Amino acid sequence: MRKTLFSICLIVLAGSAHAQKVVPAASQTEKTAFQTASPWMPEIDVRSDIAIVYGANDRPGMTFEQRVQTWRDHGYQTSFMTGIAWGDYKDYFLGKWDGKNHLGVGQVTQKGDTIFHGKDMPYIVPDASFIDYMKTAVIKRVIDAGIINIFLEEPEFWARAGYSAGFKAQWQTYYGFPWKPQDASAENTYLSSKLKYHLYYDAIQQVSSYAKAYGKSKGLNIKVFIATHSLVNYSSWQIVSPEASLASLPGIDGYIAQVWTGTSREPTYFNGIEKERVFENAYLEYGSMVSMTAPTGRKMFFLTDPIEDRQKDWSDYKRNYQATFTAKLLYPAVSDYEVMPWPERIYTHPYKVANSDEKILIPQYYSTQMQVMVNALNSMPKSANKVTGVNGIGVLMSNTLMFQRFPTHNGFEDPQFSNFYGQTLPLLKRGVPVQTVHMENLGYASSLKNTKVLVMSYSNMKPVSAQIHQQLAAWVKQGGVLIYCGRDDDPYQSVMEWWNTGGNKFTAPSQHLFKLLGINPVADGQKFKVGKGAVYVLRQNPKEYVLEADRDSNYIATVKQAYEGDAHAGDLTFKNSLYLQRGPYDVVSVLDENADSKPYRIKGPVIDLFDPQLPVLAEKVINPGEQSLLYNVGRVPNKRLPQVLASASRIYQEKVLANGYSFVAKSPAKTMNSARVLLPAQPKVVLLTDDKGQVITDVKTSWDVSSSTLYLGFANSANGVNVSLQW
């Protein structure tokens, strides 16, 4: 139990014993990062490993190079990020760069409107001039500044665009025949989307190749990363992007998975109800990014954002931040993070107070909690553990999910991307940590290595090649169980593609797959034995499982039979929670809209990292619709070693003495720190001083016997607070 506050001894430690161990300072890892357009300020000194400096523009009184140097001067590794489909490129758009106005390079809708990201900042149809500008005016300057890690952000082509003169010219060059309006037919839409996909694939290939070559000429090993939304989100939001194909480019070294409240709060249908399901959506978004990159071995940073672009209130941001943060931690193979974008927006911009028109800066309770969470990421380990439940069920995805979202043809609609959620949410909502599998990665042996049952549909995507079907058929014959869902009645079934050209005459791509499998489905619900595996064919489009209430029972029964009876993989149990153990951390989400409404309980002592006061609990109870991140004191690797278990600051210069422990805590100015420090005994002396040696008197302390931890609360400093403890 917790004892009462005790006095802080305001004395200088004298006669300290000789040092037994010095814990090294934070190493130069590349585990955590944030992106910022600002120069260093004490209010945004987040203390991650990397400061990703955004944009190569000069500012009044400060060059780009000087802006980068401000971060280096405060101990940061510096990387660079800029948009590849939009950006503050007014020197290019308005003619300063080459004497030509390039605003006409923008993406244009059927109405003739250019889609803008900001003033004089159109979304771009990439052409030779823009690619040359990116190489010579942006990338070259960045490399000359000594930056070796470059992030190209958001290669996005809106599905509703494709009517500009530039796009029409690119169409003629790519296809060899005149442009056709995508609103006229499904085939035109498909062809338009393929071209949009190709244009950014080609642009990124050229820019990344240039970056590598120019860096090499200067003796630098340049790495290029893509910061991108998930395939789930781009498909939902009707945007086309190269996505998975970039992982095969030799010039691409990894990704940032841009998942946050703004993407994950997009409403979805489940059980006939359309509403926000932020945790579930985020879980599927992060999962699609993992399946896109894991087989390739490329590095992946997971992003979350403590706020979002839309003006909400602080309580809304906090609730949804916890949901998305928990979702990303449930992928134990990823342990690199962009901890936030735009700290200047988070710390220095006022937002609403709930149920009020008043606007305030981030409340101290939220900034403290956020910084505890962010600093946990600095030590968040990879783990071989699995999320509780059945991990062997996958849903097939493809980049072509983005190709048939807009406009509507022949009355065929897919409300809120429900053909995807119809395959995934009925399982996830029953506590099954469903995986997603990228069709484009089936050539990698690891893609289906742990998949026992694979669900797929061509209701909202199409196969990119005949080889895909050969790979699927081979997997089934070796023992895999495939569930095909779909009526094959959407207008994209008959677009001019490989399954109906070059000697193929299939009226639906599934017919080619079925032929390779040696089956001929003629009715709904048929099952076929194929080699060592099995195939089920359900003749409903997956959206039907979620658009109306109580329509997913047959689908779930089929998955259960396939997993238990055909894959012989054990029981497919349903529950209302997802739990993962990562080192000393317990990560849990309890699902609502579930027949089981019981809370999830974790025995302590555990430190609640979603509570800014860092309480030590004998038991944590998590209710349906809630998430939790806990530090389990019982799993501290070395309980005899004094150490900071949780803190709203980053810890430096740790020193362990015979009867004492000291460290320096750094975090953004104008925020409050909470910390839990594991000690062998209750300290007799607690001394805090600022960077000038002045004693800090306003310090909150308490001792918890059950965990043998000291709580410290004090004002943060970017320059560092020195903490000395003696027992």
Task: Give the CATH number for residue 261.
Answer: 3.20.20
- Inside any domain, residue 515: yes
Q: Based on the number of CB atoms within 10 Å of its own CB, is 498 exposed (0-12), middle (13-18) or buried (19 or more)?
A: middle
| Contact yes or no for 321/305 (Cβ under 8 A) | yes
Q: Are residues 625 and 488 in the same domain?
A: no
Q: What is the CATH number of the domain that holds 672?
A: 2.60.40.1180
- Inside any domain, residue 384: no
pLDDT of residue 248: 76
How many folded domains does the chain comprise? 5
| Contact yes or no for 60/66 (Cβ under 8 A) | no
Q: Are residues 205 and 297 in the same domain?
A: yes
Q: Are residues 492 and 554 in the same domain?
A: yes
Phi, psi of 125 (to 5 degrees): -90, 100
- Please provide the size of the chain in residues: 727
What is the C-alpha to C-alpha distance for residues 463 and 488, in angstroms, rounded to an integer?
13
DSSP assignment of 538-585 equals: E-S-TTHHHHSTT--HHHHHHHHHIIIIIS--------SEEEEEETTE
Q: Are residues 306 and 432 in the same domain?
A: no
- DSSP annotation of 440: G
- Inside any domain, residue 386: no
- Inside any domain, residue 110: yes
Q: Are residues 148 and 269 in the same domain?
A: yes
**How does strand 121-122 pair with strand 116-118?**
antiparallel
Nearest to 246 by CA among 285, 207, 211, 204: 204
Query: What's the alpha-carbon Rg for the chain, to the nearest Å?
Result: 27
Q: For 108, how many CA atoms within 13 A lie in the half-sphere containing its CB?
A: 15
Q: Are residues 519 and 561 in the same domain?
A: yes
Q: Are residues 673 and 710 in the same domain?
A: yes
The residue type found at 71 is W
Q: Are residues 290 and 211 in the same domain?
A: yes
Residues 6+ apart with CB under 8 A from 612: 364, 365, 366, 368, 369, 372, 648, 672, 674
Report the 3 state secondary structure along 343-360. Answer: HHHHHHCCEECCCCCCEE
| Contact yes or no for 207/131 (Cβ under 8 A) | yes
pLDDT of residue 245: 83
Q: Are residues 174 and 248 in the same domain?
A: yes
- Inside any domain, residue 385: no
Report the 3 state secondary structure along 483-550. Answer: EEECCCCCHHHHCCCHHHCCCCCCCCHHHHHHHHHCCCCCCCCEEEEECCEEEEEECCCCCHHHHCCC
- Inside any domain, residue 370: yes
| Contact yes or no for 190/463 (Cβ under 8 A) | no
Nearest to 322 by CA among 264, 274, 378, 390: 264
Q: Which residue(s) pair with 273 in the sheet?
A: 270
Q: Are residues 650 and 595 in the same domain?
A: no
Which tokens in the block code for residue 387?
Answer: 């999320």
Q: Which residue(s) pair with 79 in the sheet?
A: 52
The residue type found at 298 is R
H/E element, 647: strand 643-647
Distance (Å) of CA 207 to CA 174, 246, 333, 429: 19, 13, 29, 42
- Inside any domain, residue 14: no
Mean pLDDT per block of 10 residues along the chain (727 residues) reads 30 31 51 98 98 97 98 98 97 97 97 96 98 98 98 98 98 98 97 97 97 98 97 98 84 96 98 98 98 92 96 95 98 98 97 90 97 98 97 97 96 97 98 97 93 98 98 98 98 96 97 98 97 98 98 98 98 98 98 97 98 98 98 94 98 97 98 98 98 97 98 98 98
Q: Are residues 437 and 495 in the same domain?
A: yes
Q: Are residues 200 and 284 in the same domain?
A: yes
pTM value is 0.95
Q: Based on the number of CB atoms within 10 Å of its own CB, is 696 exposed (0-12), middle (13-18) or buried (19 or more)?
A: middle
What is the C-alpha to C-alpha distance for residues 78 and 16, in angstroms, rounded to an integer?
39
DSSP assignment of 257-303 equals: EE--HHHHTS-EEETTEEE--HHHHHHHHHHHHHHHHGGGT-EEEEE
- Inside any domain, residue 174: yes
Q: In which residue are the tokens 């925020």 written?
A: 671
**How does strand 239-240 pair with strand 526-530?**
unpaired
Q: In what order do the strands lie in the sheet with 627-632?
A: 577-582, 585-590, 627-632, 600-608, 616-622
pLDDT of residue 1: 33
| Contact yes or no for 456/422 (Cβ under 8 A) | no
Report the 3 state secondary structure along 150-185. Answer: EEEECCCEECCECCCHHHHHHHHHHHCCCCCCHHHC
In terms of residue numbers, what domain contains 39? 31-53+63-77+336-379
- Of 536, 566, 596, which marks where a domain is finished? 566
**Taking the CB of residue 560, how many other CB atoms lie within 10 A of it?**
19
Q: In which residue are the tokens 């585990």 written?
A: 31
What is the C-alpha to C-alpha distance for residues 414 and 197, in angstroms, rounded to an integer?
21
Helix axes of 278-293 and 314-329: crossing angle, nearest 10 degrees = 40
| Contact yes or no for 661/16 (Cβ under 8 A) | no
What is the C-alpha to C-alpha distance for residues 642 and 681, in angstroms, rounded to an integer?
10
pLDDT of residue 40: 98
**How does strand 616-622 pair with strand 627-632?**
unpaired
- Of 617, 635, 653, which marks where a domain is finished? 635
Phi, psi of 37 (to 5 degrees): -95, -5
What is the C-alpha to C-alpha distance for residues 427 and 280, in angstroms, rounded to an integer?
11
3-state secondary structure of 622: strand
pLDDT of residue 14: 30
Which tokens in the block code for residue 127?
Answer: 């052409």
